[in-house]
Every structure is written in C-alpha cells, then in structure tokens.
C-alpha cells in the first residue's frame, strides 16, 4: 500500500536518524561535502597505450585539485565482457582496464591524495569460465544459480529480483557459497587493494537486504546502488518511492543513484519543463527532496550518456549534449551527493566550468542535506537558494532571466542558461 507523502517524509527522517550508527556509511549520514567522480566511461576498457588505470593515474593530482572526495572505479574483476559487467573470476583483478598491480597503484595514488576509492560491484550474476555454469575462482556449484534461471541448470532457490538473461542469476540465499564467497571477495581481494566504498550494479536483480549485508560486512565508507527503473513523468512519487523502499531495504546501509532527478533533468533540459523540478510541497522533486543524504545525483553516466563525444557510447537516456553544464549547475549546487562524469571533464573540455561550480559549492559549504528554498520553477526557468554551512548559494538554470534579490550576492560562475551566486 502506497504511503502518503507525509508518511514518506516522516519515514525518511526516521531512517536517517535510525541509520546514523554503524550501518549507515559515514559519507551518507548527513551534512556530507562528498563529491563523486565516475572515473571511467563505456569505452574506457578499449584504451591500451596507456591502459585505463594508467590514464586515470596520470590525472590524480588534477582531480585532487578539483576537489573530488571519492572516485568510482569500473568493475575490477575478470569478465567475459570488456567493460566488466559479465564477471567471470571474481578473485582475478587483471582486466581490460589494466593489471592487478596497476589497479593497486592507481587506487593507492588516489587514497594517498585524500580521494576514497569506490569499487563497482557486480554480484547479481556471473558467467562460467568455459561454459554456462562452471563458476570458478571462487568455485561455486550450480546450487549458487537460481532455479528459475534461463539456463535450466540452477539448483538454488528462486530469484529474489528481476532476471538477467546475459548471465547466470546468483542465489543470494545460499550462505555457504554465495554470501560467504562475496564477503570473502570484498574483504580479502578488494579491501587489500585499497577500496573503501561500494557501487552495486543492477540492484533490481536481488533483494536489497543482501546489498546491506555485504556493505556492512565490508564496512563501506560509501555505498550506492543502481536502481534504474522506468520513469512515468505523470507519477513521479511512485518512482522515487521505489528508491526510498530500496534504501530502507538495505537497512540504511546504502544510498541510491537519484534516477528520478536524472529523468526530470532530461525533460527540463530538453523541453524547458523546469517546473518539474519542484514538488507540491515546494521541495526538489527527485529522491533528493525526500532523503538527500542518501541521494547520489548525476547528469549522465556510462550507460545513460555518450562517452568521449556527443553521439557515441551507450546513449540510453542522455541529457541534450548542449545542456550538460546546465545539468551540472543543478546537481553541483543542490543537496545530495553529486557525481561528475570523467569524459565531461577531459573529453568534452568542460574541466574549467565544472571546476568553477565545484569551487562555488565548497565556498558556500553546500552539503548533502543543505536546505533548499526554490524561488522559481516555471516553463523556461528554475531558480533556488541553497543554504550552506558558511554562506548562501543562489543558482538559476533555463533560458529565462533571473537573479537573486537583495544586496551582497556575488556572481561566481555562469554559462549558457545557468548562473551561480554566493552571498
């Protein structure tokens, strides 16, 4: 039964308070100034000279100067697909991105510069080493495969989420092989590399309780799940309620990517419907309006958007290429934990304007639970004032003109259809 908005807001507040202990990752317990870099794109696995880990390594100092606190790495394990999303031998950390030693070197370079490393964890499914079901290193029998997998080879329990036809769906109810195997992999293969955070792939494929269990066993400093479901623009609350339910299902041990805000930005930037960014209560319309500490916002990622240039890469659900900076003006000024996509910095030549927005966020002390006072949300214009720890930040996006009322506001940065001020 769907909760009322009032009940959902109350539950969200209670969830933050209840999760403020050991279960909630420190970076997501509220008042966090974390900014996440997605440190790869869809074509990163194809880089060879230098490979991706060494490409990333060369920019560590640059990214530290920009102010990133966390970097999200691609899936680290051996995979049947170059990109890493068909994991084969979990305990083998040499991949198309580079060798195990190169991975360790780049993770340590980031951590030595104060940037925490987040591993992309793909545990919904695995592929066999020579056939469909011979799961090796760690070795799992067909009892680790759900009994309703399309291979008709699984002897485990029924799946606890949506199926994934490109690989064998894993039975997370299996304690001896699966649960223990994943926890051992996290703690004895990935943690020694230097990873301290987790990004869970395809979380609609298994019950959220397992994500919470694995995050807690790992002691995740940061945790985020990819719950990407269809968005009906005429029923926004249902979409963000799914995100709330998933976070609750992890026991507040993981946040989630704010795909609701992503979809709303897509529509606003493509069609001028900036009014969609404010809900009936006057708060931001996405997940960040209900549970900002746990909402990880983004403009595009390796799946939704292009890679090195407009038009290439996955492009499954991208913002208009010419409006990328407008999107960043929104996510980098608002609560939640914002994400910046690597190719936008280096391939799209947006390093300077993105850096300026990040600097404004820091200067105002905007954090993951900063209050938002929306000033305008109409066709062609969205404007808001966000209260940081030290100052107020005002921002606008859209083609219509707007500036904050009163004295003391100083323009920090601006571009096509966006501007940011600090007072």
Q: Are 91 and 187 in contact (CB under 8 A)?
A: no
Annotated active-site residue 221? The verdict is no
Residue among 83, 102, 201, 303 flagged as catalytic: 201
CA 198 to chain centre: 10
Residue among 134, 226, 267, 308 flagged as catalytic: 226
What's phi and psi for 284, nearest 5 deg?
-55, 140
CA 103 to chain centre: 21
Annotated active-site residue 308? The verdict is no
| Selection from 329, 298, 285, 308 nearest residue 228 by Cα | 298
Q: Are 12 and 291 in contact (CB under 8 A)?
A: yes
For the chain, helix, strand, coil in percent to 5 are 35, 20, 45
Helix (H) or strand (E) holding 420: strand 418-422
| Selection from 297, 293, 292 nearest residue 329 by Cα | 297
DSSP string, 194-248: TEEEEEES-GGGS-HHHHHHHHHHHT-SEEEE-------TT-HHHHHHHHHHHHH
Q: Are 351 and 340 in contact (CB under 8 A)?
A: no
Q: What is the DSSP letter of 178?
A: I
| Residue where the block lists tokens 């990109």 | 83
* Residues identified as active-site: 201, 226
């Amino acid at each position: 039964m769907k909760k009322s908005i009032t009940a959902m807001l109350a539950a969200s507040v209670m969830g933050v308070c209840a999760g403020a202990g050991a279960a909630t990752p420190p970076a997501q317990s509220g008042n966090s100034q974390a900014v996440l870099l997605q440190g790869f794109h869809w074509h990163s696995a194809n880089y060879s000279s230098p490979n991706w880990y060494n490409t990333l390594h060369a920019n560590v100092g640059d990214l530290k100067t920009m102010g990133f606190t966390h970097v999200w790495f691609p899936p680290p394990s051996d995979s049947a697909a170059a990109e890493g999303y068909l994991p084969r031998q979990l305990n083998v950390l040499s991949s198309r991105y580079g060798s195990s030693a190169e991975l360790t070197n780049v993770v340590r370079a980031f951590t030595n510069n104060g940037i925490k490393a987040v591993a992309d964890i793909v545990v919904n499914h695995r592929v066999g080493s020579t056939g469909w079901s011979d799961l090796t290193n760690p070795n799992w029998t067909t009892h680790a495969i759900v009994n309703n997998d399309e291979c008709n080879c699984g002897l485990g329990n029924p799946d606890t989420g949506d199926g994934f036809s490109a690989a064998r769906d894993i039975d997370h109810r299996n304690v001896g092989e699966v649960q223990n195997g994943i926890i051992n992999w996290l703690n004895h293969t990935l943690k020694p590399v230097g990873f301290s955070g987790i990004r869970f792939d395809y979380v609609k494929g298994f019950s959220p309780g397992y994500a919470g269990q694995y995050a807690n066993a790992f002691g995740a400093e940061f945790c985020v799940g990819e719950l990407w479901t269809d968005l009906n623009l005429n029923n926004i609350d249902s979409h963000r309620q799914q995100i709330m339910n998933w976070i609750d299902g992890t026991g507040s041990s993981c946040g989630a990517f704010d795909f609701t805000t992503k979809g709303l930005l897509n529509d606003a930037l493509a069609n001028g419907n900036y009014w969609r960014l404010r809900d009936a209560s006057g708060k931001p319309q996405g997940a960040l309006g209900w549970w900002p500490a746990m909402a990880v916002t983004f403009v595009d990622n390796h799946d939704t958007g292009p890679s090195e240039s407009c038009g290439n890469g996955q492009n499954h659900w991208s913002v208009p290429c010419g409006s990328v900076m407008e999107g960043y003006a929104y996510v980098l000024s608002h609560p939640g934990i914002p994400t910046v996509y690597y190719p936008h910095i280096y391939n799209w030549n947006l390093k300077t304007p993105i850096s300026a927005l990040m600097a404004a966020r820091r200067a105002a002390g905007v954090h993951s639970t900063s209050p938002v006072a929306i000033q305008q949300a109409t066709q062609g214009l969205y404007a808001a004032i966000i209260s940081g720890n030290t100052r107020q930040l005002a921002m606008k996006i859209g083609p219509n003109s707007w500036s904050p009322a009163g004295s003391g506001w100083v323009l920090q940065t601006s571009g096509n259809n966006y501007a940011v001020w600090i007072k």
